[in-house]
Amino acid sequence: MKRVIIFSTAYLPLIGGAELAVREVAGRISDFQFDLICARLRRDLPRQEKIGNVNVIRIGFGANFDKILLPLFGFLKARKLVVNDKRFAISDKPLLWGIMASWGSLAAFVFKIFYPRIPFLLTLQEGDAPEYIEKGRGGLINLSWRLLLKKADYVQVISNYLADMARNYGYKGEIEVVPNGVDLGKFQIPKLKTQINFKSQISNLRKELKIEENKQIIITVSRLVEKNGISDLIDAVSQLSIINYQLLIIGSGPLEKQLKLQVEKLNL
């Protein structure tokens, strides 16, 4: 059996694109052992549990600052796993897998300093604006990109755009572009009978949400964070000359209260 040690800032039940990607990839590979090290972030989350075929190990006290502990304590935990596990030896060369240029991946960076022969795969699937990556958090994000890409042996990205970004930040090794997967079974063209039921469900949903039948519906489903641009969407619909529409914002996140105040201020 081969071993992969995954470094991620968070993991399930906290849900985001990175977390779901790890679950889907790991769930399809049966002959590997997956150990995932992440920040605890919430006190109700156990320090260690198994989710699917992933052994999840959470670092910290259950607060948001836990992610700051990851680079050092994530490395120490990973080293302990590799050195103390009798089924594996350092010579077995486990794969380090960093999920995004994040706090978690910085633990893999530290590991790589002390064990340079251990291969390090970095996955980039960020959606942040280039300006944020360049100047965010006083330039620390820019620095973390450069450090991680300097140590990575292989980089996997979800778009050609991110492949170009990796090159711009100094990466000179191999890059593989693997776009996000889609379950095609969920997107088949429905038969006529199914279409009729679908229209009925939409009509019922309109009634439930008290949306008039003649109104156009604009829907966004995402976490309410800066990079997803929900505030821009609200500003945009406030400029629409037509009045026959309804905007549905589906999701939660740290900007929820701020966005509600924006809607109230714009009288939407």
pLDDT tens profile 250-266? 999 889 999 999 999 99
Residue 182 in any domain: the answer is no
Q: Answer yes or no: is pLDDT of 67 > 90.
A: yes
Do 58 and 91 share a domain, yes or no? yes
Asked if 129 and 231 sit in the same domain, the reply is: no
**pLDDT (0 to 100) of residue 66:** 95
Instruction: Determine the Cα angle at 187 with ends 198 and 157, to 5°.
Output: 140
What pLDDT does residue 30 have? 85
Q: Give the model's pLDDT for residue 143.
A: 94
Single out the residue in 125, 148, 177 at which a domain terminates. Answer: 177
When pLDDT is cut at 50, 70 and 90, the band that residue 131 belongs to is confident
Q: 68-83: buried (b, 16+ CB within 10 Å) or exposed (e) per residue?
A: ebbbebbbebbbebbe
Who has greater pLDDT, 183 or 11?
Answer: 11
Identify the domain boundary among 157, 177, 197: 177
pLDDT at 69: 95
Task: List the structure tokens of 132.
Answer: 């944020």
Dump strand ranges (E) for the chain. Answer: 2-7, 32-39, 48-51, 54-59, 95-99, 120-124, 154-157, 174-177, 216-221, 245-250
pLDDT value of residue 1: 66
Q: Which residue has the higher pLDDT, 201 or 191?
A: 201
Q: How many CB atoms lie within 10 A of CB 90?
A: 12
**Distance separating alpha carbons of residues 18 and 123, to the nearest angstrom:** 9
In a domain, 256, yes or no: yes
* Ramachandran assignment for 66, one of left (phi > 0), alpha (psi -120 to 50 degrees), beta (any other): alpha
Query: C-alpha angle 117/118/119, rounded to 5°?
Result: 105
> In the numeric block, which tokens belong to residue 100?
């995004």
Name, in order, each residue with C-beta under 8 angstroms of 61's C-beta and a sequence gap of 6 or more: 40, 43
The number of folded domains in the chain is: 2
- Spatial distance between the Cα atoms of 103 and 5, rounded to a whole number of angstroms: 15
pLDDT at 128 over 90: no
Beta-bridge partners for 248: 219
Domain presence at residue 184: no
Residue 199 confidence (pLDDT): 76
In a domain, 183, yes or no: no
For residue 231, pLDDT beyond 70: yes
Residue 192: pLDDT above 60? Answer: no
CA 91 to chain centre: 31
Each residue's pLDDT tens digit, 68-117: 999 999 999 999 988 776 555 555 678 999 999 999 999 999 999 999 99
d(C-alpha 258, C-alpha 251), whole Å: 14
Answering whether pTM is above 0.85, one says no
Pair (16, 110) in one structural domain? yes
β-strands 48-51, 54-59 pairing: antiparallel
Is 61 part of any domain?
Answer: yes
The whole-number average pLDDT for the span 139-143 is 91
Q: What is the pLDDT of residue 51?
A: 95
Residues 162 and 77 both lie in one domain:
yes
pLDDT at 127: 84
Residue at a domain's end among 142, 177, 212: 177
Structural domain boundaries enclosing 80: 2-177
Question: What's the mean per-residue pLDDT of the chain?
Answer: 89
Banded model confidence at residue 182, pLDDT cuts 50, 70, 90: confident
Terminal Cα distance for the chain, rounded = 57
Structure tokens at 107: 């633990």
* DSSP-assigned beta bridge partners for residue 97: 6, 121
